[in-house]
Amino acid sequence: MRNEQTTAIRPDLLQALIDHTEHGITIAEREGNDTILLYVNRAFEQLTGYSSEECLYQDCRFLQNGERDQAVVSRIRSAIEADKPIRVVLRNYRKDGSLFWNDLTITPYFDEEEGITYYIGVQKDVTALVNLQQELAAAQARIKELEQG
């Protein structure tokens, strides 16, 4: 049976567990109007093609590759400003310029000791699902068009 001292996860084990997940995980903090990446796991590097050295201390918006007019971007910004969790699907771009649809969840965490709110991001590539949904919508529209004559 474990006692309280052995229940805590060792930092090295926690790091290994986070690095082993298939979802991208980031930790960021606000700096003015920017949300600066402080940590990215290996899955994030694999998903985006960026190494941690390339994206740490950068604003998270670099993945939008200039497409900051997406409606969900303002929803993300509002949630961060209000320190509220949010889940959205948005267009992001890998280092090689290829598009991927990112199922992004952001959860704020306030560290009372430091007086700082951190933002934990979890990213999942849902490109295949979005493509299927778009194909289905196009097929349904085509069927409706054919039915109407």
pLDDT in tens, 23-53: 999 999 999 889 999 999 999 999 999 999 9
- Report pTM: 0.84
Q: Rounded to the nearest 5°, which phi and psi values hold at 84?
A: -115, 145
- Helical (H) or strand (E) element with 121: strand 116-125
For the stretch 81-118, pLDDT in tens is: 999 999 999 999 999 999 999 999 999 999 999 888 99
Distance CA 15, CA 28 (A): 16
Range of the domain at 58: 4-148
| Residue recorded with tokens 């349904």 | 140
User: What total number of domains does the chain contain?
Assistant: 1
pLDDT tier at 6, thresholds 50, 70, 90:
low
Query: Can you name the residues that pair with 117 across neighbouring β-strands?
Result: 110
The CATH number assigned to the domain holding 121 equals 3.30.450.20
